[in-house]
Structure 1
């Protein structure tokens, strides 16, 4: 995964940052934790502007979040519950999971969106309850943009500051990310199989 991301960014430049950060929100196995630090590293080498990669990374991230917001808005809770009842076992989702997510979101509102944008594993889907609960678009966009901006700045700055050691980081990061993806795949298959056996 690391090699794919680094090759893509080297080939596409700053706009590749926006595209990958958008895809990271739509397809979670693409990790922002690899995209933005490598973009920061390229910035430290003078191949990209730091301000540009942060702005484009934020725009890509917010665009992906808005897509999920519209999914939540379109689906509505009743339709989503029917979908989970029929296909949730393949997504390892249950209506109890939805109940917990909605209860948490209703307690914290805009704060859930803001902080959720900086939590791996949560940042991608935090927009769905925002859409389901009809959170107004302006507060949603402000919370999403601010949280996404802080996240991209932190990750890009880490890559920028690690520039002298990035090759060494890459040597151990690539096998770790591959192992993590395999672990996530195994976890998904286990949960999906358990859901099928229960139905």
Structure 2
């Protein structure tokens, strides 16, 4: 139901619709961002949108959404997100998992995180909570926005009528990959903690 309304919104409002949906989706509302991007590419293949304007508004929408999340995290930190985060599906547990993600991949986690459903918007909150400078945040977030938007819009453009089936498959495997990555990070953390405690006990 949400997807059908989103498709109508994008088809009806075009570039403004893409921009608004991405800003809200990155902040945390339940917007299927990859599906939105490939659907936009599909509209390009039908001649209803143009490639470069779509790419530009998509990059701007995703980056502005990330920036808004960053400033919320920077200004209010964990207390606000713990109190109100569940309303937009953000929990302390998810933020803690994202912090482990940062510990594993460093600042590049912000760039890579664009391609991981459920992590994309959390990385910006975590960067803000960690008090990164906005310059450093932008340095890693902007390339991620460009690569992510380019990848899925181009994919939708070339897939044409087959855009939906392929995108849903990609989305499913990205979720599986995220679960495996989190599990690996937790295992590494437990192993390191066990070794540390063993050394202290000697």
Do they superpose with TM above 0.5? yes
- Aligned pairs (5 A) from 1:43-62: 43-62=44-63
Name 1:197's counterpart in structure 2.
none
Correspondence list, 1:10-29, <5 A = 10-29=11-30
Q: CA deviation at 1:99?
A: 4.5
- Structure 2 contact 38–152 (Cα < 8 Å) conserved: yes
Choose which of 108, 126, 130 in structure 1 pairs with 2:127: 130
Is the Cα–Cα contact under 8 Å of residues 28 and 124 in structure 1 kept in the other structure?
no
In 2: Cα distance, 1:97 partner to 1:159 partner = 30
* Compared CA separation, residues 46 and 115, structure 1 to 2 (3 A): same
CA–CA distance in structure 1, aligned partners of residues 101 and 33 of structure 2:
24
Structure 2 unaligned regions, length at least 5: 173-202
What's the secondary structure of 2:115's corresponding residue? coil
RMSD (Å) for aligned C-alpha atoms: 2.9
Deviation of 1:153 after TM superposition, in Å, equals 1.1
Partner of 2:176: none
Q: Say how many residue pairs are matched.
A: 167
2: CA distance, partners of 1:125 / 1:158 = 25
Aligned residue for 2:31? Answer: 30
The residue number in structure 2 matching 1:113 is: 110
* Deviation string, structure 1 residues 44-95 (Cα, Å, up to 9, x no partner): 1222111111110111111111111111111235x45xx63x678886734x
Of 88, 91, 94 in structure 2, the residue corresponding to residue 93 of structure 1 is 91
TM-score, length basis structure 1:
0.72
Q: Where does residue 194 of structure 1 map in the other structure?
A: none
- In the superposition, the TM-score normalised over structure 2's length comes to 0.71
Q: What is the deviation of 1:30?
A: 0.6
**Contact 2:59/2:149 (<8 A) preserved:** yes
Take 1:42 and 1:124, find their aligned partners in 2: how far apart are those partners? 25
Partner residue, 2:200: none
SS in 1 for 2:138: helix
**Aligned with 1:48: secondary structure?**
coil
Pair 98,23 (structure 1): closer, same or farther in 2 beyond 3 Å: closer
Secondary structure class of the residue paired with 1:47: coil
| Contact 2:28 2:90 survives alignment (8 Å) | no
What is the alpha-carbon distance in structure 2 between the residues aligned to residue 156 and residue 100 of structure 1? 29
Distance in 1 separating the partners of 2:97 and 2:25: 24
